[in-house]
């Protein structure tokens, strides 16, 4: 079975604060030119996308330098709900490393934890910016597991918003840095996570952007019809 987990690319779609606005408009038309083409203007982190290490690390790997196979993930769905706005996701919400001990678990460890926070339902509203984020301990747990993250939010770090409480919230991009410094993948703005099985394959191939720091993707989940939820 297959399911599209990506947001449609369209004019006026939500973007991270300060990122370029997205426009998709006709260029040539059937009526005027006998064929159709469109002009797309968007940032490299528009919609559902992957982050390359170059996103936050000046000497990090670029999106076009990675082998395409790096964007085929053995994914595990992790239900982190319920969560309050701007609540940190702590290590206790993530799998224990011992779960994937080969002698105990009898299954391969995932290389991507898809964290369902429930924030996909707030897409298109100001509340989408007030998503939960990875604590330092949770980012360290991901590194211990050797797994990146997929999220139904703008990203693993807090996003600026009118509700930004400051205080104990981390500044900058510490979760991004912790993951990308180990070349662990980050896939952002996923959707349609309800009803997925716990384990599935996720395809998220980026555009081959020269020296790219990230790229929109068509994120597609694949699983067997008899896979347990």
- Across the chain, mean pLDDT equals 95
Residue 103 has pLDDT above 90, yes or no: no
d(CA 30, CA 163): 46
Is there a cis peptide before residue 17, judged by omega within 30 degrees of 0?
no
- What integer is the mean pLDDT of 159-188? 91
Which H or E run includes 30? helix 30-33
Residue 104 has pLDDT above 70, yes or no: no
Phi-psi region of 186 (alpha: psi -120 to 50; beta: other; left: phi over 0): beta
d(CA 122, CA 72): 27
d(CA 153, CA 186): 11
pLDDT tens digits, residue range 124-157?
A: 999 999 999 999 999 999 999 999 999 999 999 9
- What integer is the mean pLDDT of 178-206? 98
Annotation: CATH topology of 2-222: Glucose Oxidase; domain 1 (3.50.30)
pLDDT greater at residue 124 or residue 102: 124
Which pLDDT does position 95 carry in this prediction? 95
Instruction: Please work out, in degrees rounded to the nearest 5, the angle formed at the alpha carbon of residue 145 by the alpha carbons of 139 and 91.
Output: 45
pLDDT tens digits, residue range 19-35?
A: 999 999 999 999 999 99
Which pLDDT does position 226 carry in this prediction? 81
Name every residue whose Cβ is closer than 8 Å to that of residue 74 and which is 6 or more positions away in sequence: 108, 109, 110, 111, 112, 199, 201
Ordered DSSP codes for 80-131? --S--TTPEEPGGGS--GGGG-HHHH-SPPPSEEEEE-SGGGGTTSGGGGG-
d(CA 5, CA 204): 10
- The tokens for 87 are 């609540």
Which pLDDT does position 165 carry in this prediction? 60
Alpha-helix residue ranges (DSSP H) falling in 116-173: 136-145
Predicted model pTM: 0.95
């Amino acid at each position: 079975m297959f399911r599209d987990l990506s947001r449609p690319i369209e004019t006026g779609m939500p973007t991270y604060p300060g990122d370029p606005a997205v426009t998709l408009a006709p260029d040539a038309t059937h009526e005027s030119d006998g064929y159709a083409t469109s002009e797309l203007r968007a940032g490299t982190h528009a919609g559902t996308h992957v982050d390359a290490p170059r996103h936050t690390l000046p000497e990090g790997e670029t999106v076009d330098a990675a082998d395409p196979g790096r964007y085929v993930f053995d994914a595990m769905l992790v239900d982190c709900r319920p969560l309050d706005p701007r609540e940190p996701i702590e290590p206790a919400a993530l799998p224990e490393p011992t779960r994937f001990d080969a002698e105990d678990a009898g299954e391969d460890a995932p290389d991507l934890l898809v964290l369902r926070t429930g924030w996909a339902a707030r897409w298109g509203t100001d509340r989408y910016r007030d998503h939960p984020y990875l604590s330092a301990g949770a980012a360290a747990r991901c590194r211990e597991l050797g797994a990146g993250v997929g999220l139904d939010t703008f990203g693993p770090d807090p996003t600026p918003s009118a509700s930004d409480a400051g205080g104990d919230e981390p500044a900058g991009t510490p979760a991004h840095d912790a993951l990308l410094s180990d070349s662990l993948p980050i896939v952002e703005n996923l959707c349609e996570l309800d009803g997925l099985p716990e384990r599935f394959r996720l395809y998220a191939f980026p555009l081959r952007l020269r020296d790219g720091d990230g790229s929109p993707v068509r994120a597609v989940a694949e699983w067997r019809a008899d896979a347990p939820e």
